[in-house]
Amino acid sequence: MKYYILTLFPEMIEDALNTSILGRAKNAGAISFEAVNIRDYTLDKHKKVDDYPYGGGAGMVMQAQPIYDAYKAICEKAGHKVHCIYLTPQGQLFKQQNAKELALKEDICLLCGHYEGIDERVLEEIVDEYYSIGDYVLTGGELPSLVMIDAISRMVPGVLTNSESGEDESLENNLLEYPQYSRPETWNERKVPPILLSGDHAKVDAWRKEQSILRTKERRPDLYAKYLESNVDK
Ligand code: ADE
Give every CB contact of residue 153 below 8 A, 6+ residues apart in sequence. Answer: 1, 21, 22, 25, 30, 31, 103, 159
Mutate which of 88, 111, 145 for ligand 1? The one with the most ligand atoms within 8 Å of its CB, which is 88
**Residue 143, ligand 1, Cβ within 6 A:** no
The domain segmentation of the chain, as residue ranges, is: 2-153, 168-234
Residue 198: predicted pLDDT: 97
Determine which residue's CA is closest to atom 2 belonging to ligand 1. Answer: 138
Q: Which atom of ligand 1 is nearest to the CA of 134?
A: 6
Residue 166: predicted pLDDT: 63
Give the pairing of strands 190-191 and 186-187: antiparallel
Residue 13: predicted pLDDT: 97
CATH label, 168-234, candidates 1.10.10.10, 1.10.1270.20, 3.40.640.10, 1.10.1200.10: 1.10.1270.20
- 28 CA to centre of ligand 1 in angstroms: 30
**Residue 139, ligand 1, Cβ within 6 A:** no
pLDDT < 70: residue spans in the chain: 166-168, 233-234
152 annotated as ligand-binding: no
Are 103 and 1 in contact, with CB atoms under 8 Å apart? yes
Quick check: do 2-153 and 168-234 share a fold? no
**What DSSP character marks residue 112?**
P
- 106 CA to centre of ligand 1 in angstroms: 24
The helix or strand, by DSSP H or E, that contains position 93, with its residue range, turns out to be: strand 83-93
**Residue 117, ligand 1, Cβ within 6 A:** no
Mutate which of 137, 139, 143, 145 for ligand 1? The one with the most ligand atoms within 8 Å of its CB, which is 137
Give every CB contact of residue 117 below 8 A, 6+ residues apart in sequence. Answer: 61, 62, 88
CATH label, 2-153, candidates 3.40.50.300, 3.40.1280.10, 3.30.1300.10, 1.10.10.10: 3.40.1280.10
145 phi/psi in degrees, rounded to 5: -60, -45
